[in-house]
Amino acid sequence: MKKEIKKQGTEAVYDGKTLSVKYEGKELKREFHNPFIEINLEDESITVNSKKDNKKLKMLINTWVSHIKNMIKGVKESYEYKLRICSSHFPISVKVSGNTFEISNFIGEKVPRKAKIMPGSEVSVEGDLISVKSQDVESAGQTAGNIECATRIIDRDRRRFQDGIYIIKKPRWTE
């Protein structure tokens, strides 16, 4: 099986294990290693092909192709998630400190809840909107998920207690 990806002006380097994609000073790296799959860089394309044809290798090739497309798109433009703070019972205050996101006074709790900000992600707060940006789609998505999970309510009725931080906008996935 053979798949081809157009680089569209980006520079890619593959050293046998790690693929590095660069564009205007921005760079993303990811490890791709399988003894049956090889990545070749030609003039304006990246090809991913396998030495054997079976179902598992085809699935893995398609996964690698998606990762490479996300890397090419990520170095050109950032991925951005938007989250909204919803508080009807207690006013929630949030702040970014280092690589943690702190949520204070959530449902009247005295101890602030914390969410981990993944490396490479930038979090900014404007009013009740939170913006998570990153070149790496997995880093941005994991950071947004960490923030949303930090305000999960377990013991109360979710229809009545809708306090929390929720993802309202994800990046568009285009081919």
Return the SS3 of 121.
Answer: coil
List pLDDT tens digits, range 111-135.
999 999 999 999 999 999 999 999 9
Return the pLDDT at 14: 87
Residue-wise pLDDT tens digits, 52-110: 889 999 999 999 999 999 999 999 888 999 999 998 878 999 999 999 999 999 888 89
Task: Out of 36-40, 81-85, 160-164, give the one with best mean pLDDT.
Answer: 81-85
Q: How far apart are CA 161 and CA 76, in angstroms?
A: 40
Backbone angles phi, psi at 31, to 5 degrees: -85, 130
d(CA 56, CA 109): 48
Comparing C-alpha atoms, which of 62, 63, 76 is closest to residue 24? 76
Do 37 and 60 form a contact (C-beta atoms < 8 A)? yes
Q: Which two tokens stand for residue 144?
A: 């947004």
Q: pTM for this one?
A: 0.86
Q: Provide the pLDDT confidence category of residue 51 given band limits of 50, 70 and 90.
A: confident
Q: Which domains does the chain have, with CATH numbers?
A: 2-76 (3.90.930.12), 79-169 (3.90.930.12)
In the block, tokens 């900000």 appear at 117
138 Cβ contact list (under 8 Å, min separation 6): 70
